[in-house]
Amino acid sequence: MSRPDDGLDAGLTLRDALRWEGLVSVAPLLVSTLEYRELLRWILTMALRVVDAEACTLALAHPDGHALDYAVVLGEREDAVRQFPVRPGEDSILGWVAKHGKPIVTNDVVRHPLWNREVAAKIGFETRAIVCVPLSIKGQIIGALEVINKREGTGFSDEDVQILTAFASIASVCAENGRLYEWLGQRAERAEGELLALVRELSRRQAEHDAVISTMGDGLILLDAERRAVEINRTAELLLGVRREEVLGLRWGESALASGPLRDVIAAVEQASDAAYEGTIAAPGERTVTCRVSPFRDGAGAPLGLVIVLSDVTALAAVSRLKTEFVAYVSHELRAPLTCMRGFADILTSPEAATLPEGEAQEFLQIIRGEADRCLRLISRLLNVSRIESGRGLELFPVPLDMVALAHRAVEASQALSSKHTLRIEAEEPLPEVEADQDQIEEVLVNLLSNAVKYSPAGGDVRVWIGAEGPGLHVSVSDPGVGMTAEQMARLFSRYERVRGDTAIAGTGMGLYVSKGIIDAHGGRIWVESQPGRGSTFHFTLSPHPPSR
C-alpha cells in the first residue's frame, strides 16, 4: 500500500494529503453499496479522521418535517445522545443549522447562545468546540452534520469547515440516494404485496367462476369473436355427447359441435343478422333441450363472442305432454256421462215420455244418477289432487271401518269392467279395528282394482287380500298383468305417471298419485312389488287412527 504523501505536490503538508485522501477514498463508495446507513457511518468515520475530531452526529429530517432522526452517532456517548431527540428550530445548534441551512463554528461552545447545558450534562460528554454544517440536495435542507472537539485541543479552522462541508455534500447524496432506494424498496414491497393480493383475489374469483360454471344445471359454451370455443362446462358435454378436448380452442364449425345436435343451430346462427338463436334440439339419450345463442359485447358495444345456453327440458316436456293427455282424457270422461245424461233427460222431458213402458223411465233415471256419480267421482279426484299439490292435505271423516264389506263393494263395482277377470277376496280373521274415511279408502281400493283389470289385458285372477299388520290393517291387490320395471316403479306415484306398455291404456295418471295422498293422510304407506311380464302387487297399510291435523 502506498504512503499517503506519495506523489503529492511539494506544497501540500502531510495533514493536507490525509484530508484530501479521505474525500477521494469516500467517493467510489457512493456507487459500491446502497446500504446508505453503513455508508454514512463510513463517511463520518473518514470525516473524524480527516479533521482529527472526537465525535460527530448526522441527523436527517423526518419526512413530516417536524423532527430530526439520528442517522449516525460516533463517539463515546452514542446511546446517551440518542435519548434526546432534536427538532429543527432555535433550541440547539444542530436544530438551528437544520432549519436555516447555514453552518455554525464555535471553539468555545459553553458561551454559545444555542448551547443546551442541561442536555450536555445529562449526556455526560465534555464538549469544547463544535462545527455544524447543513446537508442539502437541490437547495432543500435534509439534515445537518455536527463534529465535536479537535483532538489536539486547538479550535476548528475555516479549512475544517470546508472539508466538513465537502463531506456533508457527499453524505447528502448518499442519504438522498439511500432514502430514495428505501422508498423504492418499500414501494416495491407494497406493490408486490398488492400484486400478490390481486393474484389471490383473481385466483379466488377464477375458482368461484369455475365452480359456478362447472356446477350449473344448464349447459354453457362460450365462443370468442372468431367462433372458437373458450369454455364448455360439464353439463354441456353431457347434453351434447362431446368431450371438452374435442371442442376447446376450435372453431365451432370445425369441432365436434358441428356433427352433433348443434349442427342446424350453427347454420342458423351464421345466417342470422344478429347472430342470435332460440329453439329446441334433440340431444343424445332422447333428451329435449332448449338452445339459446346470444352475442355478448364489450362496454363500447363491440362484439366479443357468443354465449350458448343449453337447458334440459325433457322432464318439463314430458309433464306438458302428460298434462295435455290428462286434459283430453278428463274432457272425454266428463263428456261421455254428460252426453248420456243429456240424452236420457231429453227422452224423459219429451212428449213421448208418457208412452214409455212401465219401469223404463225409472231405469233411465237410475242411469242418469249413475253417470252423475261418475262425474262426481272424477271431480272429487281432481279436487283431491288440488289439495295434495297445495299442501293443504285431504279432509278426512274417519269412522269405524269394515274393510271386508268395503272390499266386497269395490269388487262388485269393478267386476262389471271385465268379463275376462275373476275378482276374489281373501281375509284373515280376526282383523284389528281401525278408523278411516270410508269413501276415501274405497276410492283407493277401486282405483287399484281398476288398474289391475286394465293392465291385465289377457284376463285372469285379481286377488284382494286383507290382513293384520301390528295394530293396523294391511291390504294388497295382486294381478297377473304386464308388470313393471324398477325404473317405472320409482316414478309410479308421481303426477300424470302411467305405465306405458305395448298397448295404449287410457287414464289420467292421477289415480295412484291421489291414492298415495289418501294413504299418507291416514298415516299409512303404499307401495308396489312387480316384475315385467309377471304381474304386480300393490300394498297399503292403515294405522288404527288417522293422525290428528
> Does residue 336 share a domain with residue 293?
no
365, 390, 415 - which closes a domain: 390
The rounded radius of gyration (Å) of the Cα atoms in the chain is 52
> Does residue 364 share a domain with residue 497?
no
DSSP secondary structure code for residue 532 in this structure: T
Q: What is the CATH number of the domain that holds 375?
A: 1.10.287.130
> Does residue 414 share a domain with residue 339?
no
> Does residue 24 share a domain with residue 127?
yes
Instruction: Give which of 416, 442, 412 is closest to 425, Cα–Cα.
Output: 412
pLDDT(3) > 50? no
> Does residue 267 share a domain with residue 327?
no
pLDDT at position 62: 84
Give the type of residue at 69.
D
Q: Which residue has the cell 252426453?
A: 339
97-151: per-residue pLDDT in tens? 999 999 999 999 989 999 888 888 888 888 899 999 999 988 889 899 999 999 8
d(CA 374, CA 441): 17
- Domain membership of residue 118 (yes or no) is yes
pLDDT at position 24: 52
- Domain membership of residue 455 (yes or no) is yes
Chain centroid to CA 39: how far? Answer: 55
- Domain membership of residue 52 (yes or no) is yes
Dihedral (C-alpha) 65, 68, 69, 74: value to the nearest 10 degrees? 150
Number of structural domains (the chain) is 4
d(CA 499, CA 484): 7
339, 355, 390 - which closes a domain: 390
- Domain membership of residue 302 (yes or no) is yes
- Domain membership of residue 178 (yes or no) is yes
405's enclosing H/E stretch is helix 403-415
Interval 406-420 mean pLDDT: 85
pLDDT(34) > 60? no
- CB atoms near residue 204 (< 10 Å): 10
Q: How far apart are the first and last CA of the chain?
A: 110
pLDDT at position 381: 67
- Domain membership of residue 200 (yes or no) is no
Average pLDDT score, the chain: 82
> Does residue 135 share a domain with residue 230?
no
Interval 381-398 mean pLDDT: 72
Contact 532, 484 (CB under 8 A): yes
- Domain membership of residue 272 (yes or no) is yes
312, 344, 365 - which closes a domain: 312
For the ranges 314-323, 389-398, 486-495, the maximum mean pLDDT occurs at: 486-495
500 — phi, psi (to 5°)?
A: -110, 105
> Does residue 473 share a domain with residue 439?
yes
What pairs with residue 228 in β-bridges?
Answer: 251
pLDDT(189) > 80? yes
d(CA 290, CA 313): 7
426-456: per-residue pLDDT in tens? 999 899 999 999 988 998 998 899 889 988 9
pLDDT(503) > 50? no
Interval 491-511 mean pLDDT: 64
Q: What is the CATH number of the domain that holds 290?
A: 3.30.450.20
pLDDT at position 152: 80
Q: What is the CATH number of the domain that holds 411?
A: 3.30.565.10
Q: Considering only 31-35, 102-106, 154-158, 262-266, which range has the smallest mean pLDDT?
A: 31-35
> Which residues have a Cβ under 8 Å from the Cβ of 178 and sit 6 or more positions away?
34, 35, 36, 37, 39, 40
pLDDT at position 319: 67
Q: Considering only 78-82, 118-122, 194-198, 210-214, which range has the smallest mean pLDDT?
A: 210-214
Give the type of residue at 286.
E
d(CA 344, CA 271): 63
> Does residue 70 share a domain with residue 150?
yes
d(CA 547, CA 549): 6
- Domain membership of residue 197 (yes or no) is no
pLDDT(2) > 60? no
Environment class of 325 (CB within 10 Å of its CB; exposed 0-12, middle 13-18, buried 19+): middle
47-68: per-residue pLDDT in tens? 998 999 999 999 898 877 788 8
> Does residue 498 share a domain with residue 462?
yes
User: Is the pTM above the cut of 0.75?
Assistant: no
Instruction: Give which of 157, 115, 108 is closest to 129, Cα–Cα.
Output: 108
pLDDT(240) > 90? no
> Does residue 278 share a domain with residue 159?
no
Q: Which of residues 465 and 240 earns the better pLDDT score? A: 465
Q: What is the CATH number of the domain that holds 118?
A: 3.30.450.40
> Does residue 263 share a domain with residue 177?
no
> Does residue 99 share a domain with residue 26?
yes
> Three-state DSSP class for 412?
helix
Domain hosting 405: range is 398-542
DSSP secondary structure code for residue 121 in this structure: H
